Amino acid sequence: MQLPEHISIDILKSWGDNLGLSAGANERISTNRAYLENILKGGNTYYGINTGFGSLCNVRVEPHELAQLQENLVCSHACGMGDEVPEEIVRLMLLLKVHGLSQGYSGVRTEIVQRLVDFYNLGIHPVVFEQGSLGASGDLAPLAHLSLPLFGKGKVRYKGQVRDAAEVLKETGLEPMPLSAKEGLALLNGTQFMSSYGTWALMAAKRLSIWADVIGALSVDAFASKNEPFRHAIHRVRPHKGQIDTAARMLQLLEGSGIQTLEKKQVQDPYSFRCIPQVHGATKDVIDTVTRVVETEINAVTDNPIVFHDEDAIVSGGNFHGQPLALHLDFLAIAMAELANISERRTYLLISGQRDLPPFLAPDAGLNSGFMIAQYTAASIVSQNKHLCMPASVDSIVSSNGQEDHVSMGANAATKLRRVILNVQRVLGIELLTAAQALDFRRPGKTSPVLEQVYAALRKEITFMQQDRILHDDLVAAERFLDKDAEVFTGKL
């Protein structure tokens, strides 16, 4: 399956296990490489191609040492530490690096790009580590680990096991591929670590944003709240797109609810119910904004120097600087954390003993503690998210003897964003459990047909809690339940 000229988050979400280079990509790469090889014959000096790197940019390297220069670069920059990057994100790194090099401005050989394609298709995933990138000069350390296996060094994860790259290459019939001029630099310079995390985060964010609406609607009926705040008239006079879309979805989700037809005693509902369109909607708008930025990035050329064969120039610049990503990944973390913040408040109210519900949703409160500590867990996770939402992008540390004197810290923004999103899923899972438990106390009352389908699917996996049991197992099952797309149960509303 060939990558299109322009890729989107939606395309990547549905991408299969096979990857291929189009004829156009092959032509762009080979034309650009031929230009580079020809211009190097002229004896001029070009950063990172026949010079040292970073603050060593003024040290010229002899022609017979250029291949060694590139491999030295990759080995010396493979300084990653910390946790191993999840395989699903490493696969995105491979795919996005292939797509970036396929733009035809990086000066690499077609064979190098094809080998990355081979890794993707064969499931040979280089072992990459979370820590080490400053988010400028590219994601140097993570991309170095991604590149080591090309010439038989480093570790890979293959068929579930971490093994030496050289051993797996031999087993799969692939020869180590020595690097040539410019190739190490092209592989290491780039934002594919940050942008892969960003791509994964947006896929998850869009899924959880829909779930937040579905779970919020279930909680609305579980708490016997009104649907009045979701009427279109309210939102057309404050026409933020996300707010309007959320309000409309809430009405669709609640359509046909028997609980909504019952008389309500309260004049108004708490903000965590009444302001779902405003809060969830604001997050949707941020997701849309960040999607535009990330899609621009993953279709860009982000290495350095850039080889412009069409302009007869090799130009050093700063496209590797992760500032656009850093700022927006921080923004997305804040927006997603708010879905958990408001979710935990709804959970708190559902177990509060109000609206004819028993305290802590326990059938025999006192003997049973019910969902008391589940709410503690949600509160703890929400608090952790608040710490994780401290922006990474406000920081910068000088590196490379002052040559790289402002960095984005986008890699740190990216990795903590993933932690925030995983936390959001856990908190939403807890709300889903409490909403379903509360709904059971509304029987024989019924919510809407759509929400009853969600409830029924959940109850196939997690039963009503008649008496206290080890809730950890239920919480984990609810978290995993949200790995599914909500639209499997609700359709596209």
In angstroms, rounded to a whole number, what is the distance separating the alpha carbons of residues 463 and 236? 41
Closest C-alpha among 31, 44, 21 to residue 121 = 21
At position 48, the amino acid (one-letter code) is G
Dig out the tokens for 40 from the structure: 């190097």
Element (H, E) at 130: strand 129-131
Instruction: Give catalytic status of residue 47 as yes or no.
Output: yes
Q: What is d(CA 315, CA 189) in angstroms, rounded to the nearest whole number?
A: 14
Rounded to whole angstroms, the maximal C-alpha distance in the chain is 86
198, burial (CB in 10 Å: exposed 0-12, middle 13-18, buried 19+): buried
Which has the closest alpha carbon to 320: 97, 8, 37? Answer: 97
Query: Is residue 391 within 8 Å of 437, Cβ to Cβ?
Result: no
User: Three-state SS for 156?
Assistant: strand
Burial 7-19 (b: 16+ CB within 10 A, else e): bebeebeebeeeb
Q: Which helix (H) or strand (E) holds 331?
A: helix 323-350
* Selected catalytic residue, list 35, 46, 47, 271: 47
- Among all residues, which ones are annotated catalytic? 47
